């Protein structure tokens, strides 16, 4: 029986760069949510190893050994000694190199699927080490739930998920290199997030995001891809938007809305004005 795992899009509502480590990685303090849209991974026993990529964003990706899905599979095999042939299908819907963790979510979904196939508990410490070795975002994508995340991405404090809202994800079709965005930072010792109050409504939450949080990667990402500024302006002009910002190292930006229906309406309006942008309404919780 094939196993299907969803690789949901990760959105950084806030991303503070608070330091730099001797190995060159950055200490971060982030608020992340996961949208109810993403890629899908289908795993099935097979006569030989197969890896197929389909879906609307398949063209942006090659199925070679550098692909995070195959690196996850190889890492899992090294960890467990398990060598049975496997067929993996990745249905790619999220834009590549776009700040919403697509590749990390694909690797995490592959690991979740392999754990289900082989009865490895999801909290196995060896799995956490493997996940982090594949990428700083992979551990949080294994959890795939709203959280405050710090360290380079390994310290995950889940939030309750009681606050629901609509999300609009907008990508102008420009890939931003994450290392290049980090290299463009003017300061690396910025303040961390303040303590998080409990939020019982969207308004205090968006006030908190607007006044007390940042995405420190936004200025260097905008220098690399100035079109990010156009996306943020177009989002801010939408009548029912409550808050807008860039996610990760860009170029995807997001808007928060009261609910998914409002995000869907906004998506239709924005798509008329920018038919060449990738525009996806979604729902999320924090």
**Is 51 among the residues that bind ligand C5P (CB under 6 A)?**
no
Stretch of residues binding ligand C5P (CB under 6 A), selected from 80-88, 121-129, 132-140, 165-173: 132-140
Q: Is 137 a catalytic residue?
A: yes
Stretch of residues binding ligand C5P (CB under 6 A), selected from 21-29, 34-42, 45-53, 227-235: 21-29
**Is 139 among the residues that bind ligand C5P (CB under 6 A)?**
no
**Is 107 among the residues that bind ligand C5P (CB under 6 A)?**
no
Query: How many CA atoms does the CB half-sphere of 26 hold within 13 Å?
Result: 25
Secondary structure of 66-93 in HEC code, one letter for each residue = CCHHHHHHHHHHHHHCCCCCEEEEEECC
Q: Which is nearer to ligand C5P, 18 or 42 (CB)?
A: 18
| DSSP secondary structure letter of residue 252 | -
Closest CA to 250 of 1, 3, 68, 12: 12
Supply the minimum distance, in Å, between the C-beta of residue 76 and ligand C5P. Answer: 18
The answer to whether 257 and 240 are in contact (CB under 8 A) is yes
Q: Which is nearer to ligand C5P, 149 or 167 (CB)?
A: 149
Choosing from 10, 29, 216, 260, which is the catalytic residue?
10
Which of 137, 216, 218, 280 binds ligand C5P (CB under 6 A)? It is 137
The answer to whether 30 and 14 are in contact (CB under 8 A) is yes
User: Which two three-digit tokens encode residue 85?
Assistant: 């042939």
**Is 67 among the residues that bind ligand C5P (CB under 6 A)?**
no
Which of 22, 121, 125, 179 binds ligand C5P (CB under 6 A)? It is 179
Distance in angstroms (rounded) separating the CA atoms of residues 54 and 19: 39
Beta bridge partners of 147: 32, 158
**Is 152 among the residues that bind ligand C5P (CB under 6 A)?**
yes
Which residues from 82-101 bind ligand C5P, rule CB under 6 A? none
Q: Is 260 a catalytic residue?
A: no
**Is 178 among the residues that bind ligand C5P (CB under 6 A)?**
yes
Choosing from 29, 137, 216, 260, which is the catalytic residue?
137
Closest CA to 11 of 37, 39, 43, 35: 35
DSSP string, 136-190: TTHHHHHHTS-EEEEETTTEEEE-----EEEEEEEE-S----HHHHHHT-S-S--
**Is 281 among the residues that bind ligand C5P (CB under 6 A)?**
no
Burial class (CB in 10 A: 0-12, 13-18, 19+), 100: buried
Supply the minimum distance, in Å, between the C-beta of residue 108 and ligand C5P. Answer: 12
Q: Prior bond to 251 cis, omega within 30?
A: yes
Which of 99, 135, 220, 244 binds ligand C5P (CB under 6 A)? It is 135
Which of 35, 69, 136, 241 binds ligand C5P (CB under 6 A)? It is 136
Active site residues: 10, 137
Q: Kindly list the residues in this chain that would bind ligand C5P in the complex (CB under 6 A).
A: 25-26, 28, 135-137, 152-153, 178-179, 182
């Amino acid at each position: 029986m094939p196993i299907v795992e969803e690789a949901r899009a990760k959105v950084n509502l806030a991303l503070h760069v608070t330091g730099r480590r001797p190995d060159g990685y950055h200490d971060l303090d982030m608020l992340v949510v996961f949208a109810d849209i993403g890629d899908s991974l289908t795993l099935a026993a097979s006569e030989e190893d197969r890896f197929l990529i389909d879906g609307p964003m398949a063209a942006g990706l090659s199925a070679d050994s550098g692909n995070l899905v195959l690196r996850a599979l190889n890492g899992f095999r090294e960890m467990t000694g398990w060598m049975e042939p496997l067929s993996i299908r990745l249905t790619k819907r999220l834009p590549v190199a776009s700040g919403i963790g697509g590749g990390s979510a694909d690797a995490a979904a592959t690991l979740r699927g392999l754990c289900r196939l082989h009865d490895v508990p999801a909290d196995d410490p060896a799995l956490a080490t493997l996940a982090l070795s594949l990428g700083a975002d992979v551990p949080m994508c294994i959890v795939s739930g709203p959280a405050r995340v710090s360290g380079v991405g390994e310290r995950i404090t889940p939030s309750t998920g009681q606050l629901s809202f609509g999300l609009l994800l907008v990508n102008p079709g420009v890939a931003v290199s994450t290392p290049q965005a980090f290299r463009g930072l003017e300061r690396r010792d910025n303040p961390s997030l303040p303590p998080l109050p409990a939020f019982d409504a969207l308004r205090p939450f968006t006030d908190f995001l607007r006044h007390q949080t940042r995405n420190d990667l936004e200025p260097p990402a905008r220098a690399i891809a100035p079109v990010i500024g156009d996306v943020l302006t177009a989002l801010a002009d939408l009548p029912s938007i409550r808050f807008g910002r860039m996610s990760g190292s860009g170029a995807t930006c997001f808007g928060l809305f009261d609910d998914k229906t409002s995000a869907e309406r906004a998506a239709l309006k924005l798509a008329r004005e920018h038919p060449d942008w990738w525009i996806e309404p979604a729902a999320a919780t924090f």
